Structure 1
Amino acid sequence: MNSMLNELLEHKIVAILRGIEDGRADDTARALIDGGIRLMEITMNTDGAPAMISRWREKFGAEARIGAGTVIDVRKAEEAVAAGAQFLISPNLDEEVIAYGRGRGISVWPGVMTPTEIVKAIKAGADAVKLFPMGTLGTGYLKEIRGPLNDVPILATGGVDMHNIKDYFAAGANAVGMGGKLVNMEWVKEGRFDLVTDRARAFTEAAASL
């Protein structure tokens, strides 16, 4: 099994950093790590994403795994890998991106919604799939998917909060992707990184108990 997939299955949460200001990024990453987060993705539509990925690999590489999100095509994959991304996550299924990652020993977790897309992604070589948008699909959909597709590693993304995180795992998620419900950008802007750490710790403890 791919070592990055092992990390995903062990730690169960991927923090999604989208649109974060460069000047606040390092303190935010530090706060998340202090709260127990071990996988963080910077979305490639964030200003300066490649530079942030490279810097985080250098600063936090011993404590966390740094990946790239919103990798919608091979060009974005090339930029992310050149910056040092350790995994690639997409909102879409692009088999060329999967092939690019596999050729370089890098996990790719593409975005899927339907059973057909899930099977196509796994056949193309994806280690796991990102079921998205879960906030709209709901955990009932995930539970139904799990009937015929019981052995596919699924990263459920969208709609996860402290009240329903247990429901996601009970429905069959192996891990969850979390953005604003984990990283409150108002706290980041205000410099309240202690609150970011506290929330991260609450989620990581909840995930660890499942």
Structure 2
Amino acid sequence: MQPHELITALASRRLVAIVRGSDPQAALDTVLALVRNGIDLVEVSLSGAHALDVIAKARAALGPEALLGAGTVLTADDARNAAEAGATYAVTPAVTEAVSASRSLGLPVLAGALTPTEVVGALREGATAVKLFPAGPGGAALLRALRAPFPLVPFVPVGGIDAAAAREYLAAGALAVGVGGPLVGRAADGDPTGLADRATAFRALAEEAS
């Protein structure tokens, strides 16, 4: 995936689903269920159990064109392992060596940043977009404040984002939002109750913002 392709995907979907679970089979089933329910831009966090296996199996099931990324990429080894497993983009929680390592492997990067200094650092390291993280404490006001000096930076808020917050961030100029628990629930831990309904609701929310 080229950087412009990730930007295009973020701009059209407006939503990244974040899957992190303790049950690898349930996490895989969750990824596949999300895609079946129309949420096809998915990040599998490396902090989940056997996440690399989940990515590899999801890639095999979904094919080469699937918009499947690896999250919580912290090191150069993480980046390399994610690429080998089949991730086509990387997501980091901070500006670490993983940003430049991912870019050297051909993976576009959503690099985590919270302050103006960190935003500049993420861009300097080659980030395709900035993952505003943790977005929850600052709310949409933080995004608006950062967009004033960085009007051309594509921001993707992540962290503590429910449906109401997602609407606020998208209205405040976020390119997309990353949503974990409020969308996925406990599906990646083995309890998929309500996943399809939540996916439908979040997909509708994202479509409204497009």
Asked if Structure 1 and Structure 2 have the same fold, meaning a TM-score greater than 0.5 normalized by the shorter chain, the answer is: yes
Q: What is the rounded CA distance, in whole Å, between the counterparts of 1:188 and 1:103 in structure 2?
A: 33
Which blocks of at least 5 consecutive residues in structure 2 are unaligned? none
Do 1:65 and 1:86's aligned partners in 2 also have CA atoms closer than 8 Å? yes
Divergent runs of 4+, >4 A: none
Q: What is the rounded CA distance, in whole Å, between the counterparts of 2:168 and 2:37 in structure 1?
A: 22
Map of 1:138 onto structure 2: 139
Query: What is the percentage of aligned positions where both structures have the same residue?
Result: 38
Task: Supply the RMSD in Å over aligned alpha carbons.
Answer: 1.8
Which amino acid in 2 is paired with 1:65? L
Q: What is the rounded CA distance, in whole Å, between the counterparts of 1:106 and 1:63 in structure 2?
A: 14
Q: What is the rounded CA distance, in whole Å, between the counterparts of 2:155 and 2:129 in structure 1?
A: 6
Q: What is the rounded CA distance, in whole Å, between the counterparts of 1:14 and 1:160 in structure 2?
A: 11
Post-superposition CA distance 1:143-199 (Å, at most 9, x none): 11111111101110012212232211122211111110000106963443xx21221
Map of 1:117 onto structure 2: 118
Which of 46, 51, 54 aligns to 2:56? It is 54
Map of 1:35 onto structure 2: 37
Q: What is the rounded CA distance, in whole Å, between the counterparts of 1:191 and 1:207 in structure 2?
A: 21
Do 2:158 and 2:179's aligned partners in 1 also have CA atoms closer than 8 Å? yes
Q: What is the rounded CA distance, in whole Å, between the counterparts of 1:72 and 1:144 in structure 2?
A: 27
Which blocks of at least 5 consecutive residues in structure 1 are unaligned? none
TM-score (norm 2): 0.91
| Structure 1 residues 70 and 188: CA distance shift in structure 2, 3 A | closer
Map of 1:197 onto structure 2: 196
| Structure 1 residues 46 and 188: CA distance shift in structure 2, 3 A | closer
Map of 1:208 onto structure 2: 207
- Mapped pair 1:88 → 2:90: yes
Q: Number of paired residues?
A: 207
